[in-house]
C-alpha cells in the first residue's frame, strides 16, 4: 500500500460510521416510514440522504426519508394546486404517526420540522448514538420531474428530486460505487474539519458524482475529487445532478471555498508526488486532514524538507480515467500541477 493510501486508511478508520448505529438508523427509518404510509392519502415512501447512499461519516445522527401525498386527496396543496402549505396535514400526520411508532419505541417523540416530521426514538446505544428520523412530506410535480417539498417556516414549496439523487449515487458497477462513496465520505470529513464548513454535504455528493467516473485507487480518486471541485467551483456553482432544483448554494464566499479546495488539492498532489517518503507524505496530508493526521514530530530541518519537495514541477493533463502527468523532470508518476 502506498504511503498516501495508508494515511487515507488511517483517516477512514477514525471516521467510518459504526455498523451497529447504521443498522439501527435503517431500522428506525423503516418503522417511521411504515407508520407514515398508513396515513390518509399517502401513495408511497422513499429513503434519501447519506444513509441511503452509503456516505455517512462519523456519528450516525439521522436517517432521512419521505412520503409522497396523493394529489387527489389533497388538491389544494402545493404549486400545482392552490399553493397552500401542508401545515395542518402534517400536524394530523404527527398525531397519527406518534402512537404507531411508540408501539415499537415507547419513548419516541414526534415533532414537526419545516419540511415534515422529526422522530426522536430516545433509545441511545451505549456510546450515546441515538439516530433520529427526518420524514419529509412531499407531492409529485404535475408536469415535471421530481417532487414539491414544503418549507413550512416561510412558507413555500421547493422543487427537488431526492429519489433521483439516490439512484444516481447508487448507480454503476460495485467497484465504482465503492470508490465514489469512499471519496465523498472523505470529502465530507475534510469539509467538517472547519468551524464553518464552506460547502454543504449535498454539494460534495454532487461534485463526487461529476469527478469520480472511473475506478481509481482511493488516493488518486481523492486527488481527482479535489482537483475537479476546485476547478469547477472557480467557474460556477454546482448544478443539481437531477436537473430539478437550481445550482447549489455555497456556504461561504466563492473565494474561501476555492482557496480551501486548492489547498487540499495541492496537499494531495504533494503527497502523491513524494509517495515513497513517509515523512513528506504525512506532512502534506496533515495540511489537508489537520484534525486526523498529526504533523510529523521530526522530519529534519525545514530547508531539508523543502529541498525534497522541490524534486519536480509537474503539470497534469486530464484523461478519461483521471489525470496523467506531462512535462515532469523525473520518472515518478506526478500529481502536482498548475492551476487554471
* pLDDT, tens digit (0-9, with 9 covering 90-100), for 163-172: 999 999 999 9
- Distance, in Å, from the CA atom of 254 to the CA atom of 242, rounded to the nearest integer, reads 23
Residue 337: inside a domain, yes or no?
Answer: no
Average pLDDT taken over every residue of the chain? 90
Residue 228 and residue 185 share a domain: yes
Residue 99 and residue 177 share a domain: no
Inter-CA distances, 8 with 170, 254, 333, Å: 23, 27, 19
For residue range 214-228, list pLDDT tens digits in order: 999 999 999 999 999
Q: Mean per-residue pLDDT for 93-116? A: 98
Residue 185: inside a domain, yes or no?
Answer: yes
- In the prediction, which pLDDT does 112 show? 98
Residue 1: inside a domain, yes or no?
Answer: no
- Bridge pairing between strands 109-113 and 116-120: antiparallel
Strands (E), 132-273: 132-140, 147-151, 156-160
Boundary residue ending a domain (143, 167, 191): 167
Residue 308 and residue 204 share a domain: yes
Residue 33: inside a domain, yes or no?
Answer: yes
- In the prediction, which pLDDT does 332 show? 36
In this predicted structure, the answer to whether residue 340 has a pLDDT above a threshold of 60 is: no
Boundary residue ending a domain (113, 140, 167): 167
- Distance, in Å, from the CA atom of 238 to the CA atom of 225, rounded to the nearest integer, reads 13
At 59, which CATH number? Answer: 3.30.460.10
Domain span at residue 201? 172-326
- Distance, in Å, from the CA atom of 118 to the CA atom of 166, rounded to the nearest integer, reads 20
Looking from the CA of 203 toward its CB, the CA atoms found within 13 Å total: 22
- In the prediction, which pLDDT does 131 show? 98
- How would residue 335 be classed by pLDDT, with cut points 50, 70 and 90? low
Residue 178 and residue 118 share a domain: no
- How would residue 333 be classed by pLDDT, with cut points 50, 70 and 90? very low
In this predicted structure, the answer to whether residue 326 has a pLDDT above a threshold of 70 is: no
**Rounded to 5 degrees, what are φ and ψ at 134?**
-95, 125
Residue 54 and residue 29 share a domain: yes
- How would residue 304 be classed by pLDDT, with cut points 50, 70 and 90? low
- In the prediction, which pLDDT does 297 show? 80
- In the prediction, which pLDDT does 1 show? 78
- In the prediction, which pLDDT does 313 show? 35
In this predicted structure, the answer to whether residue 240 has a pLDDT above a threshold of 70 is: yes
Residue 213 and residue 135 share a domain: no
DSSP 196: S
- Distance, in Å, from the CA atom of 204 to the CA atom of 264, rounded to the nearest integer, reads 14
Residue 23: inside a domain, yes or no?
Answer: yes
Residue 177 and residue 163 share a domain: no
Neighbours of 307 (CB within 10 A): 11
Residue 2: inside a domain, yes or no?
Answer: no
Q: Mean per-residue pLDDT for 45-52? A: 98
Exposed / middle / buried, residue 173 (Cβ in 10 Å: 0-12, 13-18, 19+): exposed
- In the prediction, which pLDDT does 228 show? 98
In this predicted structure, the answer to whether residue 82 has a pLDDT above a threshold of 80 is: yes
- In the prediction, which pLDDT does 336 show? 53
For residue range 264-288, list pLDDT tens digits in order: 999 999 999 999 999 999 999 999 9
Residue 206 and residue 149 share a domain: no
Check whether the bond before 155 is cis (ω within 30° of 0).
yes
- In the prediction, which pLDDT does 314 show? 41
Residue 334: inside a domain, yes or no?
Answer: no
- Bridge pairing between strands 116-120 and 132-140: antiparallel
8 A C-beta contact, residue 338 and residue 315: yes
Residue 126: inside a domain, yes or no?
Answer: yes
- Percent of the chain exceeding pLDDT 70 equals 87
Neighbours of 126 (CB within 10 A): 6
8 A C-beta contact, residue 71 and residue 142: yes
Residue 180 and residue 152 share a domain: no
Residue 257 and residue 114 share a domain: no
DSSP calls for 240-288 = PTTSSS-PPPPSS-HHHHHHHHHHHHHHHHHHHHTTT-HHHHHHHHHHH
Residue 107 and residue 49 share a domain: yes
Boundary residue ending a domain (117, 134, 167): 167
**How many structural domains does the chain have?**
2
Residue 100 and residue 231 share a domain: no
- Bridge pairing between strands 156-160 and 132-140: unpaired
Amino acid at each position: 500500500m502506498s504511503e498516501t493510501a495508508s494515511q487515507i486508511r488511517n483517516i477512514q478508520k477514525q471516521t467510518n460510521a459504526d455498523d451497529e448505529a447504521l443498522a439501527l438508523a435503517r431500522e428506525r427509518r423503516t418503522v417511521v416510514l411504515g407508520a407514515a404510509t398508513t396515513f390518509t392519502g399517502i401513495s408511497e415512501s422513499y429513503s434519501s440522504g447519506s444513509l441511503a447512499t452509503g456516505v455517512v461519516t462519523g456519528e450516525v445522527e439521522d436517517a432521512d426519508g419521505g412520503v409522497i401525498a396523493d394529489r387527489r386527496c389533497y388538491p389544494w396543496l402545493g404549486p400545482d394546486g392552490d399553493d397552500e402549505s401542508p401545515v395542518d396535514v402534517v400536524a394530523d400526520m404527527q398525531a397519527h404517526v406518534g402512537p404507531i411508532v411508540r408501539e415499537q419505541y415507547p419513548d419516541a417523540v414526534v415533532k414537526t420540522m419545516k419540511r415534515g416530521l422529526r422522530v426522536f426514538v430516545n433509545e441511545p446505544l451505549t456510546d450515546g448514538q441515538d439516530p433520529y428520523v427526518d420524514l419529509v412530506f412531499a407531492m409529485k410535480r404535475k408536469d415535471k420531474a421530481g417532487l414539491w417539498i414544503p418549507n413550512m417556516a416561510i412558507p413555500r414549496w421547493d422543487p427537488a428530486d431526492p429519489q433521483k439523487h439516490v439512484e444516481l449515487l447508487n448507480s454503476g458497477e460495485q467497484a465504482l460505487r465503492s470508490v465514489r462513496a469512499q471519496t465523498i465520505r472523505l470529502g465530507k470529513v475534510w469539509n467538517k474539519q472547519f468551524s464553518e464548513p464552506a460547502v454543504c454535504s449535498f454539494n460534495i455528493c454532487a461534485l463526487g458524482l461529476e469527478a469520480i467516473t472511473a475506478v481509481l485507487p482511493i488516493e488518486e480518486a481523492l486527488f481527482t475529487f479535489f482537483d475537479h471541485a476546485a476547478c469547477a467551483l472557480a467557474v460556477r456553482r454546482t448544478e443539481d445532478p437531477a436537473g430539478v432544483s437550481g445550482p447549489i448554494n455555497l456556504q461561504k464566499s466563492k473565494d474561501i471555498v476555492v482557496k480551501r479546495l486548492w489547498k487540499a488539492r495541492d496537499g494531495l498532489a504533494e503527497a502523491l508526488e513524494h509517495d515513497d517518503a513517509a515523512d513528506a507524505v504525512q506532512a502534506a496530508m496533515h495540511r489537508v486532514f489537520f484534525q486526523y493526521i498529526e504533523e510529523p514530530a521530526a522530519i529534519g530541518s525545514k530547508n531539508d524538507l523543502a529541498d525534497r519537495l522541490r524534486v519536480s514541477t509537474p503539470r497534469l493533463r486530464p484523461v478519461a480515467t483521471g489525470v496523467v502527468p506531462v512535462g515532469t523532470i523525473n520518472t515518478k508518476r506526478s500529481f502536482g500541477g498548475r492551476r487554471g
